[in-house]
Amino acid sequence: MQDSRSAASALDPATLGRQLFEASPDCVKLLDGEGRIVAINRCGIEALGADSIDTLRGRLWRSFVPEASHAELDASMAQAHAGGVGRFRGCMPDPQGLTRWWEVTISPIDGGLLATSRDISEQVAAEAERERLLAQLRSANERMEDVFRQAPAFMCVFTGPGLVFDMVNERYLQLVGGRDPVGLALREALPELAGQGFVELLEGVYRSGEPVFGTDVPVMLQRRPGAPLERRFVDQVYMPLRDPDGGVSGILVHGIDVTDRKLNEIALYESRERFQKIVSQAATGVVQMDTEGRITLVNQKYCEMVGRSEAELLGVSVLDFTAPGSVPVTIDAMRRLAGGEQGVVVDKEYLRRDGSLMPVTSSVNALRGPSGEFQGLVAIVVDTTEKRRAEEQLRASEERYRTLFESVDQGFCILEMIFDEDERPVDYRFLEMNRMFEVHTGLVGGAGKTAREMVPTLDSFWFETYGRVAQTGEPVRFESEAPAMERWFDVYATRLGGPGSNRVALLFSDITSRKESEATLRKLASDLAEADRRKTEFLATLAHELRNPLAPIRSGLGVMRLKGDSPAAVARVREMMERQVGNMVNLIDDLLDIARISGGKLELKKERADLRTVLSSAVETSLPLVESGRHELTVDLPETEVPVEADVTRIAQVVANLLNNAAKYTPAGGCIGLALRVEDDHAVISVSDNGIGIPQDQLSAVFEMFSQVGQHTERSQGGLGIGLSLVRRLVNMHGGEVSAASRGPGTGSVFTVRLPLASGAQAGGDMAPAFEPDGAGGEGARILVVDDNVDAAVTLSMILDACGYTTRVAHDGAHAVELAAAFRPQVAFLDIGMPGMDGYQTARAMRRLAGLEHITLVALTGWGADSDRQKSSEAGFDHHLTKPVQLDVVQDLLAKLAA
């Protein structure tokens, strides 16, 4: 300061320059061309830590400059040398060691250099401080932005009352589905918020300046274009932002999307709820225990199972009500689970309050914390009372069944079906069988063998049947024959086990003998039915046959009443009545004979006789019948005696029977032959005719009792169907045989009797005259009487004659029709059963005759059933009378007709 004051007083420019040089606050140095110090002011001397210029003069200024600044110094000096001004900044410690900053300016001056170093240490420090503060601010800002951007929370800033988005962070974009709202008003950017209350809420914050907080706030957002609104949950804060004047200028929205947590919470809640429900209502017991085995949770079922209430159980150890016998397994299970095992199953028993035991199966699992630490146990407990009972029952029933199957008298076995690759049953193996199996099948040692091994020819029926039982599971019961085993079986077969099982159980019996007796029984029943049918027919026939002789007898009595004064007529009628009574006696004799033979009471009065004589007497007996049929009888007997040991009456009866049949079953005017010959040691009698013949299938049946070929037909010639039966029995009693032969209907028949011979003799025979019927004359109405029973026809015509009618008589249909054409009767009585043309045919033929259209036809028959009346009316009969006809009935009828 002193220098500057003295300088101010001096006006010498050099002095002034000197003073300025000395008083300069900068360090000023004058350097030569090489940079050596020529002059230096006070400030410079101090700065270089010297006392005077003396120690500094001539020294390179460069040597005082720190090496770090050498390059800049050199460059600035070079610039000054070149006529410019070189500048650089550098730092250099001061003599006290404190770093000082210098701003150096080098300019050229008269072949040297002027270097001015201004101390800018404070300026540099201030600059550095500013820089530091700026940097701090920058980094704070950056951090803020990072926070804003990377915050785990969503953030956005609205400005102005119109709520325009100013900033949003990534999380916010994620929340709203990536729509960038910056620059848009909230209402336009997120239109779906309308009606949800958020816009109004924010506007309220803006107005009031009061922040708003919300947790678990549901918000519906359109997170993808076109997709339905999505519900999100957020925890959020609306913070008013204030400008420097304290007025609200915007709102910071800051929050967290808690949707996942919320949904998890909901799910957890629901699942917990569900779990609780399931556990409480479970049909199995559930119990939870802590690490000490004390109960912390039980469900209703568990309480029921152990017979205690929930209150009694909570906090108690399960061991307290575990049956003593089950305590060790329970402790062991707990230990194992505490030791690291995850789950164990224990069969144990609880001791109930009432002292009873409850068997259970308990599946116990360890409960572990996040790091696997043992936290307790949970057990699912199932009541096994029923299971045990069922097991015991099964055992007991198996035993029972085994005993049963061993003790039944039926066969029992278990089979295993064998199928081929196409699932067709081809065989089966016997797995086991009971004792009776062998008895019913006759098969020995079958276990392990197959059916085909035991019975190679066994029918496939058995494989198929049992195969079907195995495949369908449907049991079957059947009876079937196994021809390969020559047995019948009654079998019940059922599958053992469920679908897929190949095992079939059989319970069966050998029913061969039952089947045989059933067949016998069936035969017997059918024989019985046949016998019964014949008997019924026989009774009807018997009634008919008894009426036949009764009819003429009754008529005869009528004649005797009317013509008792005519001895000739009475004599004729008596003769006829005797004959008819004789017929009845024969019939009844036949019946008695049959009864005697059946009862074993008929005794043969055998004697030695010539069969020829016997035959002659038979011819005598049959002659009236032969003659009434106008048959031609040829008798062919040997010349020599045919000796037999026989009951001659019975053999005559046999032959007469055969001759009578020949006459009966041959239309009028037939040929009948009787022949006797000797063959070996037998006498052979044959009776042949050219009559109606016998169907082949009836040839042996005609010898059966009550059998008649075709009843109620034109064949029917009366008779009881016992004649041939009697013949056979009598012949058999004589040690002989009888047989019938015929080539069929209409071809005649031959009956052959073979009798054992006794020794030889000869016999002959002769014939009796035929009975000639005749019609009696009279006046009044013309009546035709037609009946093959000559006596019946004649007596009726005699009665009618006596009553004043004019009658004619015919004994067969053809003759009747012929007679009617000539005689032109007003009334005709027609018998129905006649050989050849029967009554029906005759009636029809008569009706067809010219002039006889209105003839009154009266059926006269032994058959009086409704069906018979029906038949006669169909054939054109006007009336139907049954034999024997009563005279007053006939008279009534004729009187009515006359009226």
Q: How far apart are CA 428 and CA 414, in angstroms?
A: 10
CB of 673 to ligand ADP, least distance (A): 11
| Contacts (Cβ under 8 Å, ≥6 apart) of 713 | 838
Question: H/E/C letters for each residue in 665-696?
Answer: CCCCCCEEEEEEEEECCEEEEEEEECCCCCCH
CB of 438 to ligand ADP, least distance (A): 55
* Nearest residue to the partner ligand ADP, using Cβ: 719
CA distances from 240 to 186, 208, 244, 247, 569 (A): 16, 9, 13, 9, 164
CB of 755 to ligand ADP, least distance (A): 19
Q: How far apart are CA 113 and CA 120, in angstroms?
A: 21
Dihedrals phi, psi of 602, to nearest 5 degrees: -85, 125
Cα Rg of the chain, angstroms = 75
CB of 721 to ligand ADP, least distance (A): 4
The residue ranges that bind ligand ADP (CB under 6 A) are 661-662, 665, 689, 691-694, 702, 707-709, 715, 719-725, 749
Helix, strand, coil percentages in the chain from 3-state DSSP, rounded to 5? 45, 25, 30
CB of 837 to ligand ADP, least distance (A): 17
Q: Which residue has the tokens 């000054």?
A: 80
CB closer to ligand ADP, 723 vs 836: 723
CB closer to ligand ADP, 712 vs 782: 712
- DSSP per residue over 574-601, as a string? HHHHHHHHHHHHHHHHHHHHHHHHHTT-
Residue type at 861 in one-letter notation: T
- Token output for 307: 């017979």
CB closer to ligand ADP, 631 vs 782: 631
CB closer to ligand ADP, 676 vs 724: 724
CB of 622 to ligand ADP, least distance (A): 12
Q: What is the DSSP letter of 768?
A: P
Q: How far apart are CA 218 and CA 234, in angstroms?
A: 7
CB closer to ligand ADP, 19 vs 686: 686
CB closer to ligand ADP, 267 vs 531: 531
CB of 790 to ligand ADP, least distance (A): 18
CB of 715 to ligand ADP, least distance (A): 5
CB of 687 to ligand ADP, least distance (A): 7
CB closer to ligand ADP, 160 vs 710: 710
CB closer to ligand ADP, 345 vs 543: 543
CB closer to ligand ADP, 689 vs 801: 689
CB of 434 to ligand ADP, least distance (A): 59
How many Cβ atoms are within 10 Å of 795's Cβ, its own excluded? 29
As to burial, measured by CB atoms within 10 angstroms (0-12 exposed, 13-18 middle, 19+ buried), residue 315 is exposed
- Given strand 86-93, what is the order of strands in its sheet? 37-40, 27-31, 112-119, 99-109, 86-93
Q: Is-contact 116 27, C-beta < 8 A? A: yes
CB of 547 to ligand ADP, least distance (A): 15
Q: Is-contact 826 783, C-beta < 8 A? A: yes
Q: How far apart are CA 511 and CA 489, in angstroms?
A: 5
CB closer to ligand ADP, 509 vs 707: 707
CB closer to ligand ADP, 326 vs 749: 749
